Amino acid sequence: MSFLKLDNVGRRFGALQALKDISISVEQGELRAVIGPNGAGKTTLFNLISGFFPPTEGSISFAGQPITAVSPNALVRRGIIRTFQITQVFLSLTVYENLRVAVETAMGLQLRPWISRATRAQVEAKVEELADIIRITPKLDRIVGEMSHGDQRVVEVGIALSRHPKLLLLDEPTAGMGDQETHHMTDLIRRLNKEQGITILFVEHDMAIVFGIADKITVLDNGTMLAEGTAAEISANPRVQSAYLGNALEETAV
């Protein structure tokens, strides 16, 4: 049985059909890329899965449970966490403070005006663990707003990890990054998937990354599903080639 399943899902905004007849099934532990030109409906798809708004047609299920009209809060509790195209972090706080408030709210402590020494130690250990996973420990004392875009993205992933995600939705995790930052983020995504066993869906424009790390690829175009398959299947798919990939494929082939 598939972990995340979309059945003929569609979303209409007034007269605009943003998504139509989307059927996707993602296995547990899979690393899935979602690609497609601008306006293909990739972010709309993420908004549907994360409960930002419900689909107007079809149904979505996660871990065997229907989640079609479940609120974002409830989805967070079930383990579906997302990051945003525009990085959402706490800018004037340090990396440490960003992760700390994430951990504390994950533990449900946000209304507690004091905590025991033991609980504080627990929070600190968890923060250190997260910092270690995202490899940001040397920069814990830095103000996030003064860091590079790439580092901010990494911190955002760290915040998302505080929720113990089962399914992580990353919306263009490497957008606007330099080579080294992109490499760092790609490596992080792969490690989260392989070492932490987190199922990941990510939107990505860089075809080298997509073909390099994704187990499977879903191609959207103009609100519909064009293809789904492994890197080899997708690159061999004539519809994908003519509609979208042409140039990008040639580039990666070089």
Does 159 bind another protein (CB under 8 A)? Our answer is: yes
Q: Count the residues of the shown chain that bind another protein, applying the rule CB under 8 A.
A: 38
Does 182 bind another protein (CB under 8 A)? Our answer is: no
Closest CA to 37 of 250, 254, 242, 253: 242
- H-only helix segments in 79-224: 95-106, 117-133, 149-161, 179-194, 207-213
Torsion angles phi and psi, residue 60, rounded to 5: -125, 140
Concatenate the DSSP letters of all residues of 32-60 into one string. Answer: EEEE-STTSSHHHHHHHHTTSS--SEEEE
Residues 95-134 that bind another protein (CB under 8 A): 97, 100-102, 104-106, 109-115, 123
Tell the smallest beta-carbon distance from residue 156 to another protein (Å): 8
Residues 38-97 that bind another protein (CB under 8 A): 50, 72-73, 76-77, 81-82, 84, 88-93, 97
Q: How many Å apart are CA 239 and CA 235, to the nearest integer?
A: 10
Tell the smallest beta-carbon distance from residue 109 to another protein (Å): 4
The two tokens of residue 62 are 């996660």
Q: Which is nearer to another protein, 52 or 252 (CB)?
A: 52
Residues of the shown chain interacting with another protein in the complex, contacts defined by CB under 8 A:
50, 72-73, 76-77, 81-82, 84, 88-93, 97, 100-102, 104-106, 109-115, 123, 137-142, 159, 162-163
